[in-house]
Amino acid sequence: MRDRTVGALRAAPAGTLTISTERTPSMPKSITRLLGGLAASTAAVAAPLVVSTGTAHAASGDWDAVAQCESGGNWSANTGNGYYGGLQFSAGTWSAHGGSGLPHNNSREEQIRVAEGVLASSGPGAWPSCGQYL
């Protein structure tokens, strides 16, 4: 695979970043000095840069805190307000993320499984009042 050049920065295969300190005719000397200094200062570090692109995931205890906030910790909650279960899913959100039936008729574990999908696609804002616990 060939390197792709963008200005003086080249993205090389295998997730490395190559910084060229060679001056091009259109590049100001100040940029050349900046890139040269950057290359010199990062040469001593020589560690790969790791960027996480994984999906959001909450610990089980976090979901218990959300349930405590949303439903008083009642995983079977059905108060007639259109939201169900410990994490107060709407029926539409529940089914869109793979839940069957209604949330309050499913186990805590199944509600958390579906909630992980909601968290991955919508973030903690899916629980506007209680997402702070995630």
Count CB atoms within 10 A of the CB of residue 115: 27
Query: pLDDT band at 84, cuts 50/70/90?
Result: very high
Residues in the chain: 134
SS3 5: strand
CA distance 129 to 3: 47
Average pLDDT over residues 78-82: 96
pLDDT digits (tens, 9 = 90+) for 13-67: 555 455 555 555 555 565 545 555 555 554 444 444 444 444 566 776 699 999 9
CA distance 59 to 133: 10
Query: What local confidence, expressed as pLDDT, does residue 20 receive?
Result: 53
Query: What local confidence, expressed as pLDDT, does residue 13 receive?
Result: 54
Which residue's entry shows tokens 């909601």? 118
- Residues 57 and 115 sit within 8 Å (Cβ to Cβ): no
Q: Which long-range contacts (CB under 8 A, 24 or more apart) does 117-123 make?
A: 118/89, 118/93, 119/55, 119/56, 119/57, 119/58, 120/55, 120/56, 120/57, 121/97, 123/56
Give yes or no for residue 130 having a pLDDT over 60.
yes
Query: What local confidence, expressed as pLDDT, does residue 105 receive?
Result: 98
The overall average pLDDT reported for the chain is 76
Average pLDDT over residues 110-115: 98
CA distance 106 to 100: 8
Query: What local confidence, expressed as pLDDT, does residue 2 receive?
Result: 44
Give yes or no for residue 116 having a pLDDT over 80.
yes
Across 34-50, b (16+ Cβ under 10 Å) vs e yields ebbeeeeeeeeeeeeee
Architecture of domain 60-133: Orthogonal Bundle (1.10)
- Residue ranges, comma separated, of all CATH 1.10.530.10 domains in the chain are 60-133
Average pLDDT over residues 83-106: 98
Query: What local confidence, expressed as pLDDT, does residue 50 receive?
Result: 42
- Residues 131 and 125 sit within 8 Å (Cβ to Cβ): yes
